[in-house]
Amino acid sequence: MDKHAQQRRAAESSAHIESRHVDSRHVDLGRRSFLTTGAAGAVAAGLGATESAAQGAMRWDMTADVVVIGAGVAGLPAAIAARDAGASVIVIDENFDIGGRGMLSGGRVQLGGGHALQQKFNIKDDADKVFADWVRHDHGESRLSDRDLVRVFADENVTTFNFLIENGVEFIEKPITPPDASTVDRIFVTKEWHIPSEVVAPHRNRNGSGLVRRLAESARKKGAQILLKHKMTSIVRESYNRGRVLGIVVQAGDRTINMRATRGVIVATGGHTGNVNFRRMFDPRLTEEYQQACMPYADQNASGEIAAMDIGASLWATGMQTIEAGAAITKTRHIGCRWGYATLVYETDSIMFPQAKATGLTVKDWQNLIMVNQYGKRFWNEADGSFKFFNAAMAWHGDKTKLNGGGPIWAIFDSEAAAREKWNTKPPNVDPDGWFFQADTLAELAGRIKNPYQKQPMPGAALAESVARYNSFVTDGADKDFKKPTPMHKIEKPPFFAAWSTPILHDTNTGLRTTTDCQVLDTRGEVIAGLYSAGETQGGFAQHGLGRCLVFGRLAGRHAAKNAA
Ligand SMILES: Cc1cc2nc3c(=O)[nH]c(=O)nc-3n(C[C@H](O)[C@H](O)[C@H](O)COP(=O)(O)OP(=O)(O)OC[C@H]3O[C@@H](n4cnc5c(N)ncnc54)[C@H](O)[C@@H]3O)c2cc1C
């Protein structure tokens, strides 16, 4: 067995061990309870609703006070907070390991308010300043915030920071200035997990591994059960859009498990950007060619939002998804592989490498390439990373059969560019199975591009013409089409290369509507009793990343633990 297979097997067997630790109970609620459970649970549990109703039994296989869906950045603090408040807790995650995207994050936690580490560096901050920053009207990421949520977030920054410390999270003592609405230094980076094989993407400063591994360690120590490879498929409510949430239906391999939550179900499934149909509710341009950062490790599949909406939940602050600020969509710096991203790279010893298949080529200087759309035409200044670039990439390029989405974007360069960048254009750096191509002529290169999202062949003449025109800009010293600052290098020495460099999706900025206690609200603005949401599944506050997920995860767990029927 090779090293990757061994690593994967080790992770999977530890997941299996987690499963066997479960105290599986069968709770027969009897006829009355089933009748109030309704069709959602019965159907999802594999019984026809009518058939089950006739039988008069809803069988619960497992029970906890609080059931958390998702062992990621919001789910883990939710579990700990619920345990701290005395509730029994089961956390499920569909993945083979914990952490979600937090595992692959840079671990740059934005929490302020004047906590101990800020004080140590004499950073003047308080809750009011956090609040004022995150309701700023002059900043895209704060303008549309739900100010009730931001107020609570601001007030809970210091306690959440302390909570992390109490639960074993360690920070590097160096403040970083946030690149967003914050006006003082609030980012401190967690220490990377110390066991490289458990970092998932080792060698790339995936410091978030230290955050989620510590939280998982603490959650387990405190008695939360974490069940891996358990996928929530639906939420069970007393009736379709009325009454209390009773539990969830879970798929674990070929087993269907009905899991009862006597106090609350917390949806912490991480957002929706990996779900093409769902994400297009906010931006119809986001068709299937746009990949999702952190795949293939953690899928932002919208399963939490959909399950909650199926029983009546509402979304909130949906305009935040298209605000054109922050990191909903990002430019990849790692080209020639499917999931190329700015910083995340699966090296060959990563457990994910067999699926990721290539590390990508790291672009140091955008002067070394041009980018073309699926028709071989340049569309924007390659050195730009603003939303103008993304809008141009996603523009309609003239395909009468594909009106939405801009189609694949390819980086085109020659052998001299590869030499300047010191790229080795062979696997494992690139994935020639659809994401990287080379040829001795540009026409031949265009003809070789075969990719599931390249719906029709790239016209060779168009690519050759784009390159010739760009080369003339290099001669003239000015990009007459897109104003790339002083184009420097001609593309003329074979072999020529085409590397996948389509923008990749990142943050979910909208989600389920909640109260400030994270209780999910329905489309009429009423609380759905027993249902909570935190993290990127929660709508109303679009601050990038970990900080908000940690704060609201904690609050959801704390409230759910006390929420007896
Ligand atoms: C490459 C990268 C780097 C980042 N770096 C930073 C950073 O430095 N700082 C920062 O602030 N933010 C960063 N982020 C963002 C941050 O990681 C996320 O905002 C955060 O992880 C979201 O937390 P969450 O709990 O909502 O989702 P996640 O942490 O992704 O957790 C969701 C979990 O739910 C599970 N799940 C989903 N559906 C189901 C289901 N149906 N049943 C069971 N389980 C399910 C998933 O498997 C996953 O484990 C980064 C993100 C990426 C992609």
pLDDT at 14 over 90: no
Report which ligand 1 atom has the smallest distance to the Cα of 343. 1
Phi, psi of 245 (to 5 degrees): -80, 130
How far, in Å, from the CA of 428 to the mean position of ligand 1?
26
Domain match, 477 and 535 both:
no
Determine, yes or no, domain membership for 6: no
Determine, yes or no, domain membership for 486: yes
For the chain, what's the residue count?
565
Residue 452 CB: number of other CB atoms within 10 A?
A: 10
Determine, yes or no, domain membership for 488: yes
Residue nearest to atom 6 of ligand 1 (CA): 105
How far, in Å, from the CA of 355 to the mean position of ligand 1?
19
Name the domain count of the chain: 3
Residue nearest to atom 27 of ligand 1 (CA): 270
pLDDT at 21 over 70: no
Domain around 217: 21-103+206-324+509-561
The encoded tokens of residue 479 equal: 């990009």
Report which ligand 1 atom has the smallest distance to the Cα of 207. 8
Report which ligand 1 atom has the smallest distance to the Cα of 341. 1
Tell me the one-letter amino acid at 467: V
**How many whole angstroms separate alpha carbon 146 and alpha carbon 333?**
33
Determine, yes or no, domain membership for 304: yes
Domain match, 391 and 480 both:
yes
Kind and range of the H or E run holding 237: strand 231-239
Which of 96, 101, 225, 345 to probe ligand 1 with, by most ligand atoms within 8 A of CB? 101
**How many whole angstroms separate alpha carbon 84 and alpha carbon 556?**
12
Determine, yes or no, domain membership for 401: yes
How far, in Å, from the CA of 101 to the mean position of ligand 1?
3
With a Cβ cut-off of 6 Å, ligand 1 is lined by 69-75, 92-95, 100-102, 104-108, 110, 208, 231-232, 268-271, 293-294, 298, 301, 303, 341, 344, 506, 535-536, 544-547, 549
How far, in Å, from the CA of 464 to the mean position of ligand 1?
42
Q: What is the mean pLDDT of the chain?
A: 91
Residue nearest to atom 21 of ligand 1 (CA): 102
Q: What is the pLDDT of residues 413-423, one digit of tens each?
A: 999 999 999 99
Domain match, 494 and 544 both:
no
How far, in Å, from the CA of 94 to the mean position of ligand 1?
13
pLDDT in the model for residue 16? 36
pLDDT at 551 over 80: yes
Of 47-51, 119-123, 448-452, 513-517, the one with minimum mean pLDDT is 47-51
**How many whole angstroms separate alpha carbon 147 and alpha carbon 211?**
27
Domain match, 345 and 433 both:
yes
Please state the rounded mean pLDDT for residues 152-179: 97
Residue nearest to atom 9 of ligand 1 (CA): 108
pLDDT band of residue 19 (cuts 50, 70, 90) is very low
How far apart, in Å, are the Cα atoms of 330 and each of 39, 269, 334? Answer: 41, 21, 12
pLDDT at 476 over 90: yes
Phi, psi of 382 (to 5 degrees): -65, -25
How far, in Å, from the CA of 299 to the mean position of ligand 1?
9
Domain match, 411 and 474 both:
yes
**How many whole angstroms separate alpha carbon 528 and alpha carbon 241?**
9
Where helices occur in 195-335 by DSSP H, the ranges are 208-221, 276-279, 303-310
pLDDT band of residue 564 (cuts 50, 70, 90) is confident
List of residues 6+ apart from 461 with CB closer than 8 A: 443
How far, in Å, from the CA of 100 to the mean position of ligand 1?
4
pLDDT at 120 over 50: yes
Tell me the one-letter amino acid at 132: A
Query: Cα angle vertex 280, ends 276, 283, to 5°?
Result: 135
Report which ligand 1 atom has the smallest distance to the Cα of 76. 25
Domain match, 405 and 465 both:
yes
Domain match, 412 and 348 both:
yes
**How many whole angstroms separate alpha carbon 15 and alpha carbon 229?**
7
How far, in Å, from the CA of 269 to the mean position of ligand 1?
8
The encoded tokens of residue 102 equal: 């937090």
Phi, psi of 74 (to 5 degrees): -90, -40
Domain match, 50 and 87 both:
yes
- Can you tell me which residue has the tokens 């949520």? 149
How far apart, in Å, are the Cα atoms of 524 and each of 303, 319, 540? Answer: 22, 19, 17
Report which ligand 1 atom has the smallest distance to the Cα of 269. 34
How far apart, in Å, are the Cα atoms of 156 and each of 111, 152, 519, 550? Answer: 9, 6, 17, 10
pLDDT at 11 over 90: no
**Residues 323-357: b if buried by 16+ CB within 10 A, e if exposed:** bebbbbbbbbbbbbbbbbbbbbbbeeebbbbeebb
pLDDT in the model for residue 398? 86
pLDDT at 530 over 90: yes
Report which ligand 1 atom has the smallest distance to the Cα of 106. 8
Determine, yes or no, domain membership for 194: no
Mutual orientation of helices 75-84 and 208-221 as an angle, nearest 10°?
A: 30
Q: What is the pLDDT of residues 252-272, one digit of tens each?
A: 999 999 999 999 999 999 999
How far apart, in Å, are the Cα atoms of 533 and each of 29, 161, 265? Answer: 26, 20, 8
Phi, psi of 371 (to 5 degrees): -120, 140
Which of 92, 93, 95, 105 to probe ligand 1 with, by most ligand atoms within 8 A of CB? 105
The answer to whether the beta carbons of residues 470 and 367 sit under 8 Å apart is no
How far, in Å, from the CA of 108 to the mean position of ligand 1?
13
Report which ligand 1 atom has the smallest distance to the Cα of 536. 26
pLDDT at 2 over 70: no
Residues paired with residue 226 on neighbouring β-strands, in sequence order: 91
Domain match, 410 and 268 both:
no
pLDDT at 42 over 60: no
Cα dihedral sign, 68-72-78-82:
positive
Among residues 518, 522, 544, 529, which one has the least CA distance to residue 268?
Answer: 518
Greater model confidence, 34 or 395: 395
Domain match, 170 and 262 both:
no
Which of 174, 269, 537 to probe ligand 1 with, by most ligand atoms within 8 A of CB? 269
pLDDT in the model for residue 58? 73
Determine, yes or no, domain membership for 489: yes
Q: HSE (CB half, 13 Å, CA atoms) of 299?
A: 12
Report which ligand 1 atom has the smallest distance to the Cα of 544. 11
List of residues 6+ apart from 255 with CB closer than 8 A: none
pLDDT at 6 over 70: no
Report which ligand 1 atom has the smallest distance to the Cα of 107. 8
Report which ligand 1 atom has the smallest distance to the Cα of 75. 25
Q: What is the pLDDT of residues 352-378, one digit of tens each?
A: 999 999 999 999 999 999 999 999 999
The answer to whether the beta carbons of residues 73 and 550 sit under 8 Å apart is yes
Residue nearest to atom 3 of ligand 1 (CA): 105
| Percentage of the residues of the chain whose pLDDT score is greater than 90 | 87
3-state DSSP: the chain helix, strand, coil percent, rounded to 5?
35, 20, 45
| Domain end among 125, 157, 189 | 189
| CATH number of the domain bearing residue 498 | 3.90.700.10
| Domain end among 459, 479, 505 | 505
Domain match, 439 and 333 both:
yes
Among residues 237, 2, 208, 200, which one has the least CA distance to residue 95?
Answer: 200
Of 96-110, 120-134, 229-243, 430-444, the one with minimum mean pLDDT is 229-243
- Can you tell me which residue has the tokens 């059960």? 225
How far, in Å, from the CA of 344 to the mean position of ligand 1?
13
Greater model confidence, 499 or 18: 499
How far, in Å, from the CA of 552 to the mean position of ligand 1?
14
How far, in Å, from the CA of 541 to the mean position of ligand 1?
16
pLDDT in the model for residue 168? 98
pLDDT in the model for residue 559? 98
| Domain end among 472, 488, 505 | 505
pLDDT at 338 over 60: yes
Rounded to a whole number of angstroms, the CA Rg of the chain reads: 25
How far, in Å, from the CA of 300 to the mean position of ligand 1?
8
How far, in Å, from the CA of 253 to the mean position of ligand 1?
23
pLDDT at 18 over 60: no
pLDDT band of residue 57 (cuts 50, 70, 90) is low
pLDDT in the model for residue 300? 96
**How many whole angstroms separate alpha carbon 165 and alpha carbon 105?**
19
Please state the rounded mean pLDDT for residues 179-189: 96
How far, in Å, from the CA of 62 to the mean position of ligand 1?
26
Residue nearest to atom 15 of ligand 1 (CA): 545
How far, in Å, from the CA of 32 to the mean position of ligand 1?
39
Determine, yes or no, domain membership for 3: no
Among residues 160, 161, 158, 142, which one has the least CA distance to residue 150?
Answer: 142
pLDDT in the model for residue 34? 32
pLDDT at 3 over 60: no
Whole-structure pTM value: 0.91
Domain match, 471 and 333 both:
yes
